[in-house]
Structures are given as C-alpha cells and as structure tokens.
Amino acid sequence: MSDADLHITPRVGRILTSEEAIYGLILVSGMLAVSAAAKETAWDTLAVVVVTVVVFFAAHVYAGTLGRLAATSGHAGVKASLGAAASHSVGMVYASLPAIIFLVLGATRAIDDVLAEWAALIANTIMLGVLGWIAVAGWTKHWAPRILSALVTAAFGGILILLKAVVTH
C-alpha cells in the first residue's frame, strides 16, 4: 500500500508522513495517556489537547521562521519564512484531528468519555502504523522494511496505550 493505493495526493502524503504529523500523533497520544491519571472528562482532555497542539504548532512555526531567516541572513523575508514554516508544520494539526473528533464525541455525550479517550488513543496508534508504512512505501517496494516501519512507528502509540492502561488500573 502506497500513497497512490490510498488515493492520497503527493502534498497530503508529504504532510501526513512528515515528522511533524508523526510527532503530533505521539504528542496527542501522550496527552490522552496523561489525562487518565487526572481522571479528566472528555471536555477537559479536549481542551488540553487543543491548547497543546496549538502551542506546539505555533512554536514549530516560530522556530521554523527564525531558522529560515537565520539560514538566509534574513533574505528570505519574514512573510515567506513564516509561510514556509507554517506549511511545513501543518501536519501536526492535521494529525490531531481524528483524536479531537473522538474527544468532541465524548464531550458532547455521543459516546462515553472513557470510550472517547481510548478510541482516540487507539486511532492514533493505528494512524502511526499506517503512516510508518506509507513513509517507507515511498522509497521501497519490499515488505519487510514497510512492516518494520509500521511496527516501530505504531509502537510509540502502543507504549502510550500501555501507560494509560497502567495509570487507569
């Protein structure tokens, strides 16, 4: 399975397999696991996740803008550097959307709070595995590296699932 197999445009594929998207999934998963320790409601967890994603996205954009300006001695310009940094970091925001959707379902009582948090965490772990697979499928047709990448990437979410299980029991 590659980007083409999933009918993903090259731009969307690049965004979703970016380090920012993978990092965003792990960040949100960590927030979900930590919320279990505090016995947060889905509303509380949603607020923490949204604020955290916004702050980390802004920090990435700010750092990326400064880095581009420094690398070009300011010749790239603030507007161009800001746009490039935002475009580069947007995967973090997109990757957080499935978890946010589950948390909204929990917050609005469409599903139970605990189910919302678990569903978000499991969805993130599955997404990590899929993104790990797609990232490697872009440069090899061999199954072994694809499977290994999917397993390693999903393992980050799996570790956080274990943490949540330990914390809540």
Burial 40-53 (b: 16+ CB within 10 A, else e): bbbeebbebbbebb
Q: What is the pLDDT of residue 12?
A: 67
Q: What's the domain range around 71?
A: 10-168
Is residue 5 a part of any domain in this protein? no
Task: Quickly state the pLDDT bin for 3 (edges 50, 70, 90).
Answer: very low
Q: Check if the beta carbon of residue 138 is closer than 8 Å to that of residue 42.
A: no
Task: Find the length of the chain.
Answer: 169
pLDDT band of residue 165 (cuts 50, 70, 90) is confident
In a domain, residue 3? The reply is no
Q: Is residue 52 part of a domain?
A: yes
- Any domain includes 44: yes
Quote the Cα angle for 145-151-154, to 5°. Answer: 135
Write the pLDDT tens digit of every residue in 60-80.
999 999 999 999 999 999 999
Q: What pTM did the predictor assign?
A: 0.83
Written as one letter, the residue type at 78 is: V
Question: pLDDT tens, 41-67?
Answer: 899 999 999 999 999 999 999 999 999
| CA 44 to each of CA 25, 32, 81, 90, 103: distance values in angstroms, whole numbers, following the listed order | 18, 11, 34, 24, 9
Q: Is residue 1 part of a domain?
A: no
Q: Is residue 164 part of a domain?
A: yes
> In this predicted model, what pLDDT tens digit does every residue of 79-111 receive, in sequence order?
999 999 999 899 999 999 999 999 999 999 999
The DSSP result for 120-151, as a single string, is: HHHHHHHHHHHHHHHHHHTT---HHHHHHHHH
Could you give the CA distance from residue 43 to residue 105 in angstroms, rounded to a whole number?
Answer: 10
Q: What is the per-residue pLDDT for 14?
A: 72
Provide the number of structural domains found in the chain. 1
